[in-house]
Amino acid sequence: MAKRLLIKGGAVISVDPSIGELRVGDVLIEGDTIIDVARDIPAEDCEFLDATGMVVMPGLVDSHRHFWQTGTRADSIDHVFWDLVASQWPKIAAHYSPEDVYATVLAGAADALSAGVTTVLDWCHVVNTPEHAEENVRALRDIGIRSRFLYGASMSRKLNEFQGEADDTDSWAHARDLYTREFEGKEDGLLTYGLAIQGPDVSTMELTTTDCAAARDIGVPIAVHVGAPEGPPPMLSIQRMADANLLGPDINFAHCCNSTDEELRRLAEAGGTATACPTLDMAFGMGTPATGRLRDAGLRPAVGVDSVIASSGDMFEELRLGMLYERMRRSQAIFAKGTDVKSVAELGFTSREALESGTINSAHAMWLGDKVGSLTPGKKADVILLRATDLNLAPLSDMVGAVVCGANSGNVDTVLVNGKIVKRNGSLVGVDVARVHRLIVEARDRMYAYDAYPGMRPPLSTPTHLS
């Protein structure tokens, strides 16, 4: 029998409607799998993990992140999307080396794990050479996070397309090879696969059709950026893909800020999924988070950090912001009618829906809903423990409300991925944090050595003073 671990005496938020919340409850794990969640589980022959004073909940699931951008953390907080096109892509991303990708993904994934994010859809669109993708996958494997790795385009190619030079060459030959070598037949492991295609917003319908066909030929799902920036008239990319019969349950769209309600309904009908990125949507002037509109269209609103170039990476913030933005949108519509908000029902987005957006809905959005996203017997044992005794969470009354309203990544005490403890007593286990830090600082210094990006922050004059 595989090793058993009993997480005992915590305040359990299962995110499974058939189990609900347990003010004092236990979670029993055998090997990599949850086998029971109940009020008091009598168990022998098992290790115990005392969860007294803790909230026990499923690991957070981020269904849209670019780990490779960790190297320029926070540098775009005063940028808009077009600054990236004009500056970061050609001046930094196009110069990324495979070594930079390894260092930045390693640091980004370590940061996510420490923040209680156990599953991430990691979208790599800096595949300037095949080695860039290989190093991204190696870093994910080394850190031990659950991830769906998305093989994307190169930044230099993306830049060409923004400048009107569409490149229709088949860029998926190496993607096929990598899938066959590293992923095929291993779908039960921590790493799964997909293609991140450019889509109609930034390329042609011909290329979109070819790219979708390539993913379906390989047998992996597809993700597409759409509907951001919101400013121009709707680009109707989802509609165009629907008209071309390209939608299906194997497609996820990120952002969707200017996707119309009709497009979202067609996506829901096709069984597809969508992810809002509340912080990035607002920080970049990209648009308005679509959380509520996704739900109203029949989709399950999922959320993601997108990138730490302009966000904290704290998924608790994304839960909150996705909810708060929708409440503001609805309130503004009511104010515009000359009246006031009279009932909470009019706000239209509850704390429970917010919690689901960053757990079970995000798991569903990245095709892992049967494996993670809730504490359900039979699912993989991705579990986090928050210190409910911390002053920003105490006293614990409404458990879901407390997490959505007040929790932050600093409350994350313990993290398990696949039944394995990767963080305990507030510190990562089995991760050489000093090495991760050294590698990311070295990568940052290489990036800033290019030193030629007007409109972006100046390079640090003495960057190593932070190391």
Compare residues 306 and 326 and give the one whose CB is closer to Zn ion. 306
In the complex, minimum distance from the CB of residue 44 to Zn ion, in angstroms, rounded to a whole number: 48
CB of 128 to Zn ion, least distance (A): 17
Tokens 């390894």, residue located: 102
Q: How far is the CB of 423 from Zn ion (least distance, A)?
A: 26
Measured distance CA(49)–CA(299) in Å, rounded = 37
The piece of 46-54, 157-165, 236-244, 301-309 that touches Zn ion (CB under 5 A) is 301-309
Given the complex with Zn ion, which of 110 and 308 has the nearer CB atom?
308
Q: Judged by CB under 5 A, which stretch of 184-192, 306-314, 353-361, 386-394 contacts Zn ion?
A: 306-314
Nearer to Zn ion, 306 or 318 (CB): 306
For Zn ion, give the closer residue by CB, 230 or 306: 306
> Closest distance between Zn ion and the C-beta of residue 93, in Å?
13
The minimum distance between CB 17 and Zn ion, in angstroms, equals 31
Which of the ranges 231-239, 303-311, 335-343, 370-378 carries the binding residues for Zn ion, by CB under 5 A? 303-311
CB nearer Zn ion, residue 119 or residue 414: 119
Question: Could you tell me the smallest distance in angstroms from the CB atom of residue 304 to Zn ion?
Answer: 8
Whether residue 460 contacts residue 446, with contact meaning beta carbons closer than 8 Å, is answered with no
Q: Which of 386, 425, 379 is nearest to 404 (CA)?
A: 386
Closer Cβ to Zn ion, 111 or 306, answer by number: 306
Q: Which of 83, 211, 306, 356 binds Zn ion (CB under 5 A)?
A: 306
Among 26-34, 87-95, 229-237, 300-308, the segment contacting Zn ion (CB under 5 A)? 300-308
Using the rule CB under 5 A, give the single segment among 107-115, 304-312, 378-386, 429-437 that binds Zn ion.
Answer: 304-312
Give the shortest CB-240-to-Zn ion separation in angstroms: 20
- The pattern of x and - marking residues 253 through 292 that bind Zn ion according to CB under 5 A reads ----------------------------------------
* Of 241 and 422, CB closest to Zn ion: 241
Least separation in angstroms between residue 64's CB and Zn ion is 6
Q: Does 318 bind Zn ion (CB under 5 A)?
A: no
**Tokens representing residue 299 in the block:** 């989709």
- Give the range of 154-162, 195-203, 305-313, 444-452 binding Zn ion by CB under 5 A: 305-313
| Between 197 and 404, CB nearer to Zn ion | 197
Ranked by CB distance to Zn ion, the top (closest) residue is 306
Residues 214-253 within binding reach of Zn ion (CB under 5 A): none
Residues that bind Zn ion (CB under 5 A): 306
